[in-house]
Copies of this chain bind each other. A is one copy, B any other.
Amino acid sequence: MSHRIAVLPGDGIGPEIVAQAVRVLQALDLPLQLEEAPVGGAAYEAAGHPLPPATLELAKGADAVLFGAVGDWKYDSLPRELRPEQAILGLRKSLGLFANLRPAVLYPELAHASTLKPEVVSGLDILILRELTGDIYFGTPRGVREAPDGAFTGLREGFDTMRYAEPEIRRIAHIGFQSARKRNKRLCSVDKANVLETSQLWRDIVIDVAREYPDVELSHMYVDNAAMQLVRAPREFDVIVTGNLFGDILSDEAAMLTGSIGMLPSASLNEQGQGLYEPSHGSAPDIANQDKANPLATILSAAMLLRYSLNLSAQADRIEQAVRTVLAQGLRTADIYQPGDTLVGTRAIGDAVIQALK
C-alpha cells in the first residue's frame, strides 16, 4: 500500500527547500505517492486564491502534507482573505490540525549560533505544543463595528473573540501529557488565568486531565512569566502546552533561542493522525532562488511526517541521523555558517543528507 503525500511548496524559498526534502524522501525507497499543488502567493497567481479548491482537496485526501512556506511582501496590499497566510490558516482549520508540535532543539555543533550564552542554551531540547484550531484565531464574533457599550460607545472599534471549549482543551492537554511521557515527564501549561476567563477554564481542564497522568509532573505558568523564563533558563522546560495565540508567540521566541531557526521542523496533527509538516521559519523571499536557503528544517519536517503520520519511525530516525552526520561533517548553509565551516548551498546540503542516508 502506498502513502499519499501532498507536496505544497508555496512561495519564496519554499520550492527550493521542499525540493530537497522530496529528494530525501525519494532516496528512502518507500512506497510514497507524492503530488504537488500550488499554495499561498503562488496559488493566488495561478488560480486567484491562496488555497484553491484543488489544493485543499489534494491535502484532504492525502495521508500527510509536506508544506514549504508562504508569503511575500508583494502580496501585502491584497485584502486579508487573499493573502498567502490565509492558506495556512485554511488548511489548519479544514483539516482539523489542532496539535502543533514545535521542537526547539539546539544541536551541539550550532551552539555558537544562539544569541544566548552557551552555558544557558547548550543542549536545549524543549517541545512547544500549540493548540492550532481554536482560540482568538478563529473565534467569532469578530470585526470592526460601532462600540456597543463602555466608555467609547458608538465609536469605531475592532474586536475579536478568544474562546476555548472544554473538549478542545481536553484533547490538546492529552497530547501534552502523552508527549511529556515520551520525554522527561514534565509538562508546563501556559495561560493567563489571572486575567482571562478562557485561561481559567483552560487551567481547570488541564488539572482535570492530569489525574490520568500521575507520572507526569504538571506546572502552570502565566504567559508573561513564560516569555521571561524562556530567556532566563530555557532548559528548565520539557514540554510546554498552550493555546493558539500564546503558542504563536512563545514557539517563535523559543525557536529564536536556538539561533538556528533554519534547523527547526514542525508538525500539525489532527485526530486521525493526518498531518501537515513545515519548517518553523518563513518564506524568506529576499534569498529565494539563490541556492542559499537551509533545507534542513524541511528535511527534518519530512522525518516528522514519516514518524507521526506514516508510523515509519525507523525511517524518520535515519533522516535525523543523516542530518546530524552532515552537521558533524562541518557542512553549513549561510544562515548557520561560521568561519572554519564548509559553506554549501541548498542543493549541495541536500546531496550530503542523501549521501549520509546510505
Contact = CB atoms under 8 A, between A and B. Distances in A.
A234 to B, nearest CB: 9
Nearest to A227: B253
Contact of A195 (B89, B225, B232): B89
A231 B256 contact: yes
A165 B160 contact: no
Interface string A161-201: 11111111000000000000000000000001011111111
A262 B136 CA distance: 34
Interface residues of A, number: 67
Contact of A256 (B149, B159, B232): B232
A160 B160 CA distance: 9
A164 B155 contact: no
A202 B231 CA distance: 28
Interface string A207-249: 0000000000000000111011111110000000000011011
A63 B182 CA distance: 56
A298 to B, nearest CB: 19
A118 to B, nearest CB: 9
A227 B227 CA distance: 8
B149 A140 contact: yes
Contact of A152 (B157, B168, B195): B168
Contact of A163 (B158, B164, B201): B158
Contacts of A167: 152, 155
A252 B225 CA distance: 7
A250 interface: yes
Quickly give the copy total for this chain: 2
A155 B166 contact: yes
A158 B231 contact: no
Contacts of A197: 142-144, 158-160
A192 B194 CA distance: 22
Given A136-B162, A166-B157, A227 B249 contact: yes
A229 B165 CA distance: 33
A358 interface: no
B157 A163 contact: yes
B161 A165 contact: no
Interface of A: 80, 83, 85, 89, 115-117, 120, 136-137, 139-140, 142-144, 147, 149-152, 155-168, 192, 194-202, 223-225, 227-233, 245-246, 248-253, 255-257, 259, 261
| Leading 4 A-B pairs by shortest Cβ distance | A158-B201, A152-B165, A158-B198, A157-B165
20 contacts: A80-B194, A115-B116, A136-B136, A140-B149, A142-B196, A142-B197, A144-B197, A144-B201, A150-B165, A152-B166, A156-B165, A158-B163, A158-B197, A159-B164, A160-B161, A223-B248, A227-B227, A227-B256, A228-B256, A231-B257
